[in-house]
Amino acid sequence: MQMFQLNSQNYHSNEANQHYMSVSQFKSAIECEASVIAELKGEHERPSSLALTVGSYTHSAFESEQVFDEFVEENRGIIFNTRGGKYADFKQADSMIETIKNDRFAMFALEGEKEVIYTGELFGVQWKIKVDAINHDRKTFTDLKTTQSLSKRYWSDKYSKYVSFVEAYDYVLQMAIYREIIYQNTGAYYVPYIVAVTKETPPDKAILHFDESRFEFELEYTKERLPSIISAKLGNKDPKRCEVCEYCRATKQLNNTFEIEFLLK
C-alpha cells in the first residue's frame, strides 16, 4: 500500500490526520478520544476560533512577507473592521510581532528554514511534525509560542502540581516528540528552544531552553497513553468520552442519575 504523500497543502487535512499521529492530535485525544475520532470520521467539525486565527496570523509574520500578505488577504473579513482598521486582537498581535522583530536575540533564535515537515515512527506509530524554524548549521529548532503571561501558574493533573504555561500546554512533550523525529531524519539530536511572547500591553518575551532530563518523562507518558488512542483510531474499541467538551455535550445520552456532590468533580 502506498504511503500517503504529506505536504504543506494537505498537512492539516483530515486524510493526513488519519494516516499520521501528531502532537496536536495526541493532546486532543488525551482530553477526549471520542471528539478526535468523530472528527476523523467527518462526524464532527471543531469550530474555528479567533484565537487560532490570531495565532496563525502571528506565525505567518515570521515565515515570510509573502506568506503573511497572503494570510491577511485571505482573512481580511476577520482581521479588518468595516472602517478598515484592524480588530483589537490583531492590533495586539501586531504589537507582539513587533516585540519579537525588534529583539535581535529572539530573531537570531528564529533563524533557519521555516515550517519544515518531517515524518517518523515512534512507539510503532507514524507521526508528522511541522517545525516553526530549524537551523541545521547550529543543530537547533525553535517554536514560537504566545501566552497570557510568562509567570502565570496552572494546576496540572498530569504533573500533580502547579506548572508554567510550557508544561500546562504540553510544549515539553511537543519538543520531546519533535526532537526524536528530527533525529530520525537528520541523525543528530537538535536542541529545542521556545520564543515566547505575551499578550500583555506591552508584551513580555523570553527565549526558553529545556533540561534534557524532562524529555524522558514525556516520551514515557506518550508511550503509556498512545495505545488507547490508536486502538480507538483503528476502530478496535469505543473511544473514551470526556462528557464535558462540545462534542460530548452535543451527543450525550443520559442513562442514570448522580448525587449533586459529583457536579464539582
Give, as one character, the DSSP assignment of residue 237.
S
- Please give the pLDDT value at position 3: 66
Nearest to 208 by CA among 235, 247, 157, 174: 174
State percent of the chain over pLDDT 90.
Answer: 90
In this prediction, what percent of the chain has a pLDDT beyond 70? Answer: 98
Low-confidence stretches of the chain (pLDDT < 70) are: 1-3, 265
Q: How far apart are CA 46 and CA 233, in angstroms?
A: 17
**Model pTM above 0.95:** no
Locate 117 and state its grid cell: 515537515
Distance between CA 234 and CA 86 in Å, rounded? 44
- CATH code of the domain occupying 14-47+103-264: 3.90.320.10
d(CA 107, CA 195): 9
Three cell numbers, residue 89 = 486582537
Q: pLDDT, tens digit, for every residue of 111-162?
A: 999 999 999 999 999 999 999 999 999 999 999 999 999 999 999 999 999 9
pLDDT of residue 1: 37
- Which cell is 30 given? 488525551
Q: How far apart are CA 125 and CA 50, in angstroms?
A: 32
Whole-angstrom Cα distance, residue 240 to residue 66?
42
Report domain extents, the chain.
Answer: 14-47+103-264
How many alpha carbons lie under 13 Å from residue 105 in its C-beta half-sphere? Answer: 8
Q: Please, which residues bridge with residue 116 across strands?
A: 131
